C-alpha cells in the first residue's frame, strides 16, 4: 500500500484538516455579520503574524493588514501602483524569478532602475547604495527568493532605503509566517505575503501589511480600480473588502493564522529553521550539493531548500522526478533557466518531523533509481540529528 500523498512543493503547501473543514461550511453573504466576524478573526491573526515574527517575541510592527481576493502578485502590484506613478523612480533588486517579477510589475507603473545579479548570487550592498538616490521613491526586494533558496539582506537594504527616504516594499511571500520578519527594525513600509505559503492557507488569498508611513504616501486614485489601497483600508475598518469576498478562503485563512498564533511565532520560526537544517544536512550527507552559495549578509532560506542536480542528471532529470512521484511525493524543479539544474523542497507550513524525514528518504531513493549513488541511511541519520536538537 502506497504512503499518503506528501506535498513538498514551495507552495501551495499541505492544509490541516481544520483548515479544509473551514472551507466546507455553508455559504454566507460577504456583507453579513457572520462574514465580518471571519474577517476580523483573520485580520487579528495576521496582525499577530506580521508584528510578532521575531525570535524574541518582541513586537516590531505598526500598521494595518489588508486581506486581498487574489494571490501575492496582486499585493505586489497594489504596493507599486498606489505608491508610485510614471514619474517615480523605483530601484528593484533582482537575483531570482520573483525579484524579476517585482521589477516587471514596477516597469508598468514607474521608471525602474534595476540592481541585478545572477540568480542565486548575493547582492553587492555597495551597488545598492549607489543605485538608491535622493530621487528614489521606492525600493523593492524579495526577502526569501523562492526560485533559488536564498534569504536576502532586507535589514541592510532597508537601512539604505530609509537613509534616502524611499518607501521600502518587501516580498515576504515565503518567509512571513515561517521565519523572522521585523517590520520596524528593518524599515519596511509595505510587506506582502501569500496564503498558500508559510501561512498554510489555500491558494487565491493574500495579504498586505501597510504601515502608517506608507498610508500617508499612498494615492489610490492612481492605482487599478481593484487595487485602490484607500478603498481597501476604509472597508477593512468594518471588516469587509471592497468587492465580493472569497468567503471559503477567508474562513480557511482565519483558522490558519489562529493556528500560527496558538503555536507562537518564536516556536514556529525555530521549527522551520530546524527543519530546513535537516533537509540541508540530510541531502549533504547523501553527497548532494546545495545550489546557492551565499556571501556577505545573504543567507540560505529557512523555508525551502534548493539542491543542485548531479552532473549526470542535469538537463535530463526526468527519471529522478518520476521516481519521486512514484513514491507519492511532489517536489519542484528549477524555474526558467534553472530548469534541469536544481530541485527544490519546501518545509513551509505545518510539516511534522516524519514528513521531513520522508522527503529526505524519497529523494535519496529516487536518486539511486536514476543512477546516482546516494547513501540514504546517512542522509536520514544527519536529518534526524538536526530534528532532535
Q: What is the pLDDT of residues 248-298, one digit of tens each?
A: 999 999 999 999 999 999 999 999 999 999 999 999 999 999 998 888 899
Query: Shortest CA distance to 197 belongs to which of 213, 173, 221, 179?
Result: 173
DSSP class of residue 246? -
Q: Are residues 32 and 137 in the same domain?
A: yes
- The pLDDT assigned to 389 comes to 86
- The pLDDT assigned to 292 comes to 82
Query: Shortest CA distance to 199 belongs to which of 303, 64, 66, 61?
Result: 303
pLDDT tens per residue across span 203-258? 999 999 999 999 999 998 989 999 999 999 999 999 999 999 999 999 999 999 99
Q: Are residues 311 and 363 in the same domain?
A: yes
Q: Are residues 147 and 179 in the same domain?
A: yes
Domain that holds residue 271: 6-12+266-387
**In 3-state terms, what secondary structure has residue 384?**
helix
Distances (CA, A) of 265 to 49, 56, 195, 270, 308: 7, 9, 16, 8, 31
Number of domains into which the chain is organized:
2
Q: Are residues 277 and 297 in the same domain?
A: yes
What whole-number distance in Å separates Cα of residue 76 and Cα of residue 163? 23
C-alpha grid cell for residue 247?
468567503
Q: Is the pLDDT of residue 91 over 60?
A: yes
Helices (H), 237-317: 247-263, 265-285
| pTM across the whole model | 0.95
β-strand pairing of 150-151 with 167-171: unpaired
Q: Is the pLDDT of residue 335 over 80?
A: yes
Q: Are residues 23 and 77 in the same domain?
A: yes
Domain contains 249:
yes
Q: Which of 217, 234, 263 is the C-terminal boundary of a domain?
A: 263
Region 69-86 average pLDDT: 97
- The pLDDT assigned to 175 comes to 98
Q: Are residues 274 and 367 in the same domain?
A: yes
The CATH number linked to 337 is 3.90.1150.10
Q: Which of 263, 286, 304 is the C-terminal boundary of a domain?
A: 263
- The pLDDT assigned to 62 comes to 83
Distances (CA, A) of 220 to 99, 231, 232: 24, 7, 9
244 C-beta neighbours (distance < 10 Å), count: 10
Domain contains 108:
yes
Q: Are residues 52 and 102 in the same domain?
A: yes
Q: Which of 263, 295, 312 is the C-terminal boundary of a domain?
A: 263
pLDDT tens per residue across span 135-153? 999 999 999 999 999 999 9
Domain contains 1:
no
Q: Are residues 160 and 282 in the same domain?
A: no
Amino acid at each position: 500500500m502506497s504512503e499518503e500523498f506528501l506535498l513538498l512543493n514551495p507552495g501551495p503547501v499541505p492544509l490541516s484538516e481544520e483548515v479544509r473543514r473551514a472551507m466546507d461550511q455553508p455559504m454566507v453573504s460577504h456583507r453579513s455579520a457572520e462574514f465580518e466576524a471571519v474577517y476580523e478573526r483573520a485580520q487579528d491573526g495576521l496582525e499577530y503574524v506580521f508584528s510578532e515574527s521575531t525570535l524574541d517575541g518582541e513586537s516590531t510592527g505598526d500598521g494595518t493588514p489588508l486581506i486581498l481576493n487574489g494571490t501575492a502578485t496582486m499585493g505586489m502590484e497594489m504596493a507599486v501602483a498606489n505608491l508610485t506613478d510614471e514619474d517615480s523612480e523605483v530601484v528593484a533588486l533582482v537575483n531570482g524569478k520573483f525579484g524579476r517579477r517585482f521589477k516587471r510589475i514596477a516597469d508598468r507603473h514607474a521608471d525602474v532602475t534595476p540592481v541585478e545579479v545572477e540568480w542565486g548570487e548575493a547582492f553587492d550592498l555597495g551597488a545598492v547604495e549607489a543605485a538608491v538616490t535622493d530621487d528614489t521613491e521606492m525600493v523593492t526586494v524579495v526577502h526569501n527568493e523562492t526560485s533559488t533558496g536564498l534569504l536576502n539582506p532586507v535589514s541592510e537594504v532597508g537601512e539604505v532605503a530609509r537613509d534616502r527616504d524611499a518607501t521600502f516594499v518587501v516580498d515576504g511571500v515565503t518567509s512571513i509566517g515561517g521565519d523572522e520578519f521585523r517590520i520596524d527594525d528593518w524599515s519596511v513600509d509595505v510587506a506582502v505575503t501569500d496564503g498558500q505559503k508559510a501561512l498554510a492557507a489555500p491558494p487565491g488569498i493574500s495579504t498586505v501589511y501597510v504601515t502608517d508611513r506608507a498610508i500617508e504616501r499612498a494615492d489610490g486614485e492612481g492605482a487599478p480600480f481593484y487595487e485602490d489601497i484607500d478603498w481597501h483600508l476604509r472597508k477593512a475598518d468594518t471588516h469587509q473588502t471592497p468587492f465580493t469576498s472569497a468567503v471559503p478562503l477567508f474562513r480557511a485563512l482565519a483558522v490558519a493564522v489562529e493556528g500560527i498564533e496558538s503555536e507562537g511565532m518564536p516556536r514556529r520560526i525555530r521549527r522551520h529553521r530546524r527543519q530546513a537544517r535537516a533537509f540541508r544536512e540530510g541531502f549533504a550527507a547523501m553527497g548532494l550539493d546545495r545550489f546557492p552559495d551565499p556571501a556577505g549578509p545573504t543567507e540560505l532560506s529557512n523555508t525551502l531548500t534548493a539542491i543542485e542536480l548531479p552532473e549526470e542528471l542535469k538537463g535530463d532529470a526526468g527519471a529522478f522526478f518520476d521516481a519521486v512521484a512514484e513514491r507519492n511525493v511532489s517536489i519542484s524543479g528549477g524555474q526558467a533557466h534553472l530548469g534541469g539544474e536544481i530541485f527544490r523542497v519546501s518545509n513551509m507550513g505545518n510539516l511534522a518531523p516524519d514528513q521531513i524525514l520522508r522527503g529526505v528518504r524519497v529523494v535519496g531513493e529516487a536518486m539511486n533509481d536514476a543512477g546516482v549513488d546516494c547513501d540514504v541511511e546517512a542522509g536520514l541519520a544527519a536529518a534526524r540529528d538536526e530534528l532532535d536538537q
